[in-house]
Amino acid sequence: MRRLDRPATAGEQNDDQLLRLYAAPAEAERWVRMMFVSSVDGAAALEDRSGGLGSAADRRVFDLARRDADVILVGAGTVRAEGYEGELLDSAARRWRLEHGMSAHPDVAVVSGTLGLDPDSAFFTQAPVRPLIVTTHAACAADPEHADRLAEVADVLRCGRQQVDPVAVLRNLGERGHRVIHGEGGPALFGAFAAADAVDELQLSLSPLLAGPEGPRILGGAAEASVLPTSLRLAHVLEENSMLLLRYLVERS
State the average pLDDT for the chain. 93
Predicted structure pTM score: 0.94
Residue positions counted in the chain: 253
Position 225 scores a pLDDT of: 62
Q: How far apart are CA 232 and CA 166, in angstroms?
A: 20
Q: Which residues of 92-113 are buried (b: 16+ CB within 10 A; e: fewer)?
A: ebbebbeeeebeebbbbbbbbb
Could you give the CA distance from residue 124 to residue 61 in angstroms, rounded to a whole number?
26
- Calpha distance 234→247 (Å, rounded): 6
- The side-by-side arrangement of strands in the sheet containing 243-250 is 2-3, 232-240, 243-250, 201-207, 31-39, 180-183, 71-75, 107-111, 132-135, 155-158
As a whole number, mean pLDDT of residues 203-229 equals 83
- pLDDT bin (cut points 50, 70, 90) of residue 243 is very high
SS3 91: helix
* pLDDT tens per residue, range 48-104: 676 689 899 999 999 999 999 999 999 999 999 888 999 999 999 999 999 999 999
Asked if the model's pLDDT at residue 244 lies above 60, the reply is: yes
In angstroms, how far is CA 113 from the centroid of its own chain? 17
pLDDT for the residue numbered 50: 64
DSSP state of 41: T
CA 227 to mean position of chain CA atoms: 20
Sort 162 into a burial class: Cβ within 10 Å, 0-12 / 13-18 / 19+.
exposed
Show me where the domains of the chain are located.
28-250
Confidence class of residue 19 from pLDDT cuts 50, 70 and 90? very high
Contact 230/250 with Cβ under 8 angstroms? yes
CA atoms within 13 A on the CB side of 108: 28
Residue 213 φ/ψ, nearest 5 degrees: -75, -15
Residue 223 has pLDDT above 60, yes or no: no
Q: How many CA atoms lie within 13 A of 76 on its CB side?
A: 16
Between 11 and 68, residue with greater pLDDT: 68
DSSP one-letter string for 107-150? EEEEE-SS----TTSHHHHT-SS--EEEE-HHHHHH-HHHHHHH
28-250 is a CATH 3.40.430.10 domain: yes
Helix (H) or strand (E) holding 15: helix 15-22
